[in-house]
Amino acid sequence: MDSPASNPALPGAESAVEALPFEPFPAFRANALQDDSPFADSRGKRIGILIVTYNAVTTLTKVLKRITPNVWKNVEEIAVFDDASQDATYELAAGIKALRGVTKLQVLSHSKNLGYGGNQKAGYKYFIEKGFDIVVLLHGDGQYAPEILSHLYHPIVGGEADAVFGSRMMKDYGGPLKGGMPLYKYVGNRILSIFENRALGMHLTEFHSGYRAYNLHALQNIDFSRMTDDFHFDTEIIIKLHHQGYRFKEVPIPTYYGDELCYVDGLKYARHVARAVRRYKRTGRSVSCFPEFQEYFVHYPIKHSKYSSHYYARRMTGARHDVLDVGCGEGFFAAELAESENRITGIDDRVAPAKPVFERYFSADLDDGIGPVIEQLEGRRFDRVLLLDVLEHLKRPEQILEQCHAVVKREGFIVVSLPNVANIAVRLMLVFGRFDYQQRGILDKTHLRFFTRKTARRLLEENGYAIVEERETVIPVELVLGLPPESLLMRMLNRMLALATWAMPGLFGYQIVFAARSGKD
């Protein structure tokens, strides 16, 4: 059965065209793109147009009349979201709807100004709650050509993309300078786009066009709650869609600069864009947790630098082994071990992770031990049992160490990592009379037990384990400074710290990593 959006006989489809005659911008009047029938078909998708407006009383009527008849026929709703304009924008839009009888036109006004980003968020929520499939963002000031609306939503209708961006930098319409973009804006746009592409690993010709279409099923998976209400919302949403692996496509759009008012402070906007990228990168690397990107922060990130705890744990685990990962978290490290053909069983106190890396997964409160899991394993034993960043969180780490004797093979061993509370950073804090708990690290506020090299060895030996190998890790400066582990500066710092840790392991060692064999049959 056809959806309402695809049925041109719906009430309001023909009447909208008749009530609002198509009056394209002069440049489009003789253009073959007036015939947008190959692009406009909704194919049963519910398509909404979100027109964001602020003080657009002089331009809104023209924008509505520039929407092609084919688009009016195929979209289900065109919603004008007025952001508490100081002029009569809302009254004008409401009058057009009432007096012209345009049933597909909906008009909403905010009692207070939400900001450019806030207005978008309200619009996307509106269309998501109504069960739409696609939304196209259009500005009410006429800066973006309504004549080619269908070119924006067509790739999403066809399943080619989840987000489509209109690009003024593409040359199909002559390019931005020919369209009247001021040189300083063109240069600023290019510099920012180059910076963003390099920082994010993308290849967009333009990040800063406000002409966009989104698959609303993708936007449902984006957390808008802490995103900005300002103009750099457009950058934050690109970052989030890219991080979550959605598909992008750009389509050429013409550049138009008229006498409409611009409410964007260019220098402030550039600073905010650069800050958004920096805050995302720091959150993604788990250096800092910024609220707008907090869902991408990993409390215990995988450390890829040489001489880190995960570096040594990979070496000690080896390849093609049966591995029991106790305290596996979301399975990030398990996924890396699986690349070496290890077969991994996970245990943690959460719902089974989405990552398909575990052969089996058990949920257990580690404070109560793993006794019930051992019963379900029915005598199965493992080549490696991992206790990485686990024992310091437990009230009775001795209990779980005792239980691990029952699941590790005679020729296998457990791999344990423990923080070194005697590290130089903690010692310096004590010199100044401080012992401040933190979000993570040696003084993680969830740590219940603290260890030095000596007491860590004693913990294992008193619980029946013979230490096969011991390594002290370097201080993870990549998490402190936010540097990628492959950078030259990071590699140099890492080597210097490795030398210092080798010379004075008790002072510079950040964590102690052990491989230990069970001394019990």
pLDDT digits (tens, 9 = 90+) for 159-205: 999 999 999 999 888 788 887 888 988 999 999 999 999 999 999 99
pLDDT of 114-123, one tens digit each?
999 999 999 9
Query: Start-end ranges of CATH 3.40.50.150 in the chain?
Result: 309-518
The domain covering 309-518 belongs, at the CATH homologous superfamily level, to Vaccinia Virus protein VP39 (3.40.50.150)
Residue 377 pairs with which residues in a beta bridge? none
Q: What is the mean pLDDT of residues 47-68?
A: 95
Separation of alpha carbons 164 and 251, rounded Å: 7
In CATH, 4-295 is 3.90.550.10: yes
Q: Angle of helix 266-284 relative to helix 233-243, nearest 10 degrees?
A: 30
pLDDT tier for residue 21 given thresholds of 50, 70 and 90: confident
Query: Start-end ranges of CATH 3.90.550.10 in the chain?
Result: 4-295
Separation of alpha carbons 50 and 108, rounded Å: 11
Pseudo-torsion of CA 72, 73, 75, 76, nearest 10°? 110
Separation of alpha carbons 216 and 111, rounded Å: 26
Give the length of the chain: 521
pLDDT at 461: 95
φ/ψ (deg, to 5) at 297: -80, 130
pLDDT at 34: 60
Q: Which of 26-35, 284-293, 371-380, 494-503 bottoms out in mean pLDDT, i.e. has the lowest?
A: 26-35
pLDDT of 316-349, one tens digit each?
999 999 999 999 988 889 999 999 999 999 999 8
pLDDT at 16: 57
- Order of all β-strands in the sheet with 134-139: 105-109, 77-82, 47-53, 134-139, 212-215, 163-167, 248-252
Q: What is the mean pLDDT of residues 16-33?
A: 67
Q: What is the DSSP string of 379-448?
A: T--EEEEEEET-GGG-S-HHHHHHHHTTTEEEEEEEEEEEEBTTSHHHHHHHHTT----BSSSTTBTT--
pLDDT at 28: 63
pLDDT tier for residue 18 given thresholds of 50, 70 and 90: low
pLDDT of 395-405, one tens digit each?
999 999 999 99
Phi-psi label, residue 4: left if phi above 0, alpha if psi -120 to 50, beta otherwise: alpha
Separation of alpha carbons 332 and 330, rounded Å: 6
Separation of alpha carbons 482 and 487, rounded Å: 11
pTM exceeds 0.85: no
Between 32 and 513, whose confidence is greater? 513
Q: What is the mean pLDDT of residues 59-81?
A: 95
Q: What is the DSSP string of 286-308?
A: TS---GGGGGG--SS----STTS
Q: Provide, rounded to the nearest whole percent, the portion of the chain with pLDDT above 90.
A: 71
Residue 262: pLDDT over 90: no
pLDDT at 7: 40
Pseudo-torsion of CA 314, 319, 320, 322, nearest 10°? -30
pLDDT at 24: 87
- Specify burial of residue 261 (Cβ count, 10 A radius: 0-12, 13-18, 19+): exposed
pLDDT tier for residue 71 given thresholds of 50, 70 and 90: very high
pLDDT at 14: 53
Q: Which of 14-28, 57-71, 341-355, 490-504 bottoms out in mean pLDDT, i.e. has the lowest?
A: 14-28
pLDDT tier for residue 1 given thresholds of 50, 70 and 90: very low
Q: How many CA atoms lie within 13 A of 275 on its CB side?
A: 13
Separation of alpha carbons 323 and 384, rounded Å: 5
Separation of alpha carbons 67 and 211, rounded Å: 14
Residue 263: pLDDT over 80: no
Cβ atoms < 10 Å from Cβ of 41: 17
Element (H, E) at 514: strand 511-518
Element (H, E) at 257: none
pLDDT of 396-452, one tens digit each?
999 999 999 999 999 999 999 999 999 999 999 999 999 988 877 888 888 999 999
pLDDT of 89-102, one tens digit each?
999 999 999 998 89
